[in-house]
Amino acid sequence: MDSIVVTGGGELRGEIPIAGAKNACLTLMPATLLSEEPLTLTNAPRLSDIKTMTELLASLGAEATSMQDGQVLAMSSHDINNHVADYDIVRKMRASNLVLGPMLARLGHAVVSLPGGCAIGARPMDLHIFGLEKLGAEIELKDGYLHAKAPRGLKGTEIELAFASVGATENILMAATLAKGTTIIRNAAREPEIVDLADCLRKMGAQIDGDGTTEIVIQGVDRLHGATHPVVTDRIELGTYMLAPAIAGGEVECLGGRIDLVKSFVEKLDAAGIQVEETARGLKVTRKNGRVSAVDVTTEPFPGFPTDLQAQMMAMLCTAEGTSVLHETIFENRFMHAPELTRMGANIEVHGGTATVHGVKKLKGAPVMATDLRASVSLILAGMAAEGETVVSRVYHLDRGYEKVVRKLSSIGAKIERIKE
């Protein structure tokens, strides 16, 4: 397996273009199943997860063509000839479950394997099933597959989610666009990726109001048509690269960055002593003099601090002045990077969903192992500020969520290379 070698030392300066959002694109792609007409996505990220979703759609009979170096995805679902989303594909990626709602709405039946993905918690399908059953679906779990059918079609209803689940909100939202009557999703997730999905669905002819709030109202229509839609900026990639100069020092401009996508994150950077400035092209991040200050962080659904930036934030706080406390409230197994940071000299105590980070003056390079997507990049960030060489193994996780990470970090002065094995 490949590894990434990082040599610490030296400030970072320059600019990094931020890609389209992985999580948004993976949600937008299944929307093609809702219509016989073409759906084209621009500003698509070039990632292995996008290839996996393309493979899944193709297995169902959809066509998906990558153009312009992968940044444009042209899709068509005029001939869906298979209603089974097979385990061999679905196991690779959690977002595969998002084909369930669209297929059920358009075809009236679907068989979808329970999904896989990073080992950061159970992330069950119960809320997806709850919402779709409220719409009139009949769903049975057999041999690891969800067998769903809607013999009388889907009908609008009121659905209150016990938790503001992003995936469940997305699946229900897509299914409800073709349901008869009005659907109201209460305690809906508010993430920018959901707003982006709603924007795309409106271009396809859906009638949706309230996205970005806790109550989304969908008036079902008979059919949806084709559209062209740009994928929103990836707020997690944005936050990750904003942390690069915050950890290693220097000044970096993140092209395409927007404060509204990462407001709670920026508030924590400001409290730590990191300057963030809006520019005509994005966000400029500058590390002020001296060590950063310790801050406490609690992960929350949007607009709170993103769980997908917790590992990267911990990497910065390892060398902060003082003690920081991080509370992880979204996923139960998301501190697996802490022991690896400890190998680099960090002082971290983990008790359940709480990690206490006692800042040290310097980290030291060491061989470390990535356990999931965000942990991978947190170790790379830590390595850029450590003394000596850090070797990060099992970086195949990284390819799922960050395009051209070595090239982007090298362009701003990081000493980093990927070793093929």
Q: How do strand 39-42 and strand 72-76 relate by DSSP bridges?
A: antiparallel
CA gap 309, 332 in Å, rounded: 15
What is the 8-class DSSP label of residue 231?
P
The residue to which tokens 């073409």 are assigned: 38
Sign of the Cα torsion 358, 367, 236, 167 reads: negative
The CA–CA distances, whole Å, from 54 to 64, 81, 95, 115 equal: 6, 16, 12, 16
Q: Is 330 annotated as a binding residue?
A: yes
The annotation status of 92 as a binding-site residue, yes or no, is no
Q: How many CA atoms lie within 13 A of 333 on its CB side?
A: 8
The answer to the question of whether 94 is labelled as a binding residue is yes
Whether 22 has a binding-site annotation, put simply, is yes
Q: What Rg do the C-alpha atoms of the chain give, in angstroms? A: 21
* CA–CA distances in Å: residue 362 to residues 292, 315, 337, 388: 12, 12, 18, 11
Catalytic residues: 118
Residue that the structure tokens 């292995």 belong to: 48
The candidate with the shortest Cα–Cα distance to 224, out of 156, 174, 159, is 174
Q: How many Cα atoms occupy the beta-carbon half-sphere of 149 within 13 Å?
A: 4
Q: What is the DSSP-derived secondary structure letter of residue 318?
A: T
399 is in an annotated binding site: no
The H or E element spanning position 84 is strand 84-85
Judge whether 326 is annotated as a binding position: no
Q: Residue 308, annotated ligand binder? A: yes
Check the annotation: does 343 bind a ligand: no
Query: Alpha-carbon torsion 156, 161, 166, 167, what sign?
Result: negative
260 is in an annotated binding site: no
Q: Confirm or deny that 86 is annotated as ligand binding.
A: no
Q: Are 29 and 229 in contact (CB under 8 A)?
A: no
The amino acid sitting at 308 is: D
Binding site for phosphoenolpyruvate: residue ranges?
A: 22-23
Binding site: residue ranges?
A: 22-23, 94, 123-127, 308, 330
